[in-house]
Structure 1
Amino acid sequence: MTGIETDENARHAAKMAKRKAAQERKLEGAIAEKGLIIVHTGAGKGKSSAGFGMILRCIAHGMPCAVVQFVKGAWDTGERRLLSEHFADLCQFHAMGEGFSWETQDRERDIAAAERGWQKAQEQIRDPAIRMVLLDEINIALRYGNLDAGRVLAFLRDEKPPMTHVVLTGRNAPEALIEAADLVTEMTLVRHPFRAGIRGQPGVEF
């Protein structure tokens, strides 16, 4: 090893030691645990996928969890198969939707489905044994006014058990929800195969 390499390694080690010390100082004042409100939104793909990744983490830790889907209902999705067939003891799965609004073409029906989904979501969130509830595509119901965002936020503020994580996915999350959340991720669309005429495919889209 040359003298230059030795100097570079020493500078790198000193820099990393400072970063480690700074991170440890932040951790000293951090709250150990808290149930989080988590929002995955944006035009890019991956919002639901990220939510299901968190559900799988819960399962791996033996933490009871639940999924309530607000759009996908009759769809035969990979995540529904996996969770219902192999992890039903740890994850409750409720597909309450009837498809996108352009499929149902019936606003009253969309509102009724969203309300059923929200009632089921409240049951799951209120259960103190359930550590995480994924509200998949609920932001779509909020955007179209099929659910009142104020009601949802009031419930999360007043009735969510303190150690329960709630994940809300879908495009166009209301600004009030973003402000209330502890963790917000916006997926940015760079390129999507549908624009090139490629249909959604198993393993990628569902």
Structure 2
Amino acid sequence: MTEIDQNQRHTEKMKRIQTARKKMMAAKQGGEKGLIIVHTGNGKGKSSSGFGMIMRAIGHGMPCAVVQFIKGNWDTGEKRILTQHFARECQFHTMGEGFTWDTQDRQRDIAAAEAAWVKAQDLIRDPDIRLVLLDEINIAIRYDYLDVDRIVAFLQAEKPPMTHVILTGRHARPALIEAADLVSEMTEVKHPFKSQGIVAQRGVEF
């Protein structure tokens, strides 16, 4: 087969795909709506993806907010850029006190998670805020610091119709996955810490 033949076959194939795509999109009836989005799994990228969506929303002029449920007052790249350059576009609330193995105080962790959830509810209820990232909330749910049914009930009953809410963290509960509109699972294939003992890298992990 000559290169001309290959190019012609490629063009014909892309036309068929384009026609099928247009037909599929024409059949879709759903308009815009605020989504419940879950990022879970044991692979890297759950929070990173959430912060990428924050930046995308800011680019569209959509006010945003972040509530961090587990991470303590760390100096991270995402916190720096949002608080130093986009403070008007995105509220940033670090409510956690660090990993549970660092605090070693369950009641203190529960109190921090509850305070973060109160703040999260206030932000989600505000119809002017179009996207809210609940960073590592799945960890707080996993350890029963927060009740998943209460969170799902709130999202279904009180989230404004056009507000997107992203919930990140490993081990998302089935009830949350069922309630979500979009669920992504990050799968670890290879990690430098496990394979080479390389610690978290600035700009990649934090």
Q: TM-score, normalised by structure 2?
A: 0.95
Matches within 5 A, 1:1-206: 4-28=2-26, 29-195=28-194, 196-206=196-206
User: Residues 167-196 of structure 1: CA distance to partner in whole angstroms, max 9, x if unpaired?
Assistant: 010001111111111111111111222223
| Aligned Cα root-mean-square deviation (Å) | 1.2
| 132-141 or 28-37: bigger deviation | 28-37
Q: Distance in 2 between matches of 1:75 and 1:88?
A: 17
Q: Distance in 1 between matches of 2:5 and 2:193?
A: 51
Q: Distance in 2 between matches of 1:31 and 1:128?
A: 21
Query: How far off is 1:91 after superposition?
Result: 0.2
Q: Distance in 2 between matches of 1:86 and 1:95?
A: 17
Find the residue that maps to 1:89 and give its secondary structure.
coil
Q: Distance in 2 between matches of 1:19 and 1:124?
A: 42
Gaps in structure 1 of 5+ consecutive residues:
none
Aligned structure 1 segments of 4 or more residues deviating by more than 3 angstroms: none
Query: How far off is 1:39 after superposition?
Result: 0.8
Query: How far off is 1:127 after superposition?
Result: 0.4
Find the residue that maps to 1:73 and give its secondary structure.
coil
Q: Distance in 1 between matches of 2:161 and 2:122?
A: 15
User: Residues 90-124 of structure 1: CA distance to partner in whole angstroms, max 9, x if unpaired?
Assistant: 00000000111101001101111110110111011
Identity of aligned residues (%): 67
Letter in 2 for 1:168: L
Query: How far off is 1:10 after superposition?
Result: 2.0
Query: How far off is 1:62 after superposition?
Result: 1.1
Gaps in structure 2 of 5+ consecutive residues:
none
Letter in 1 for 2:61: G
Letter in 2 for 1:60: G
Q: TM-score, normalised by structure 1?
A: 0.95
Find the residue that maps to 1:40 and give its secondary structure.
strand
Letter in 2 for 1:10: Q
Q: Distance in 2 between matches of 1:84 and 1:49?
A: 16
| 31-40 or 104-113: bigger deviation | 31-40
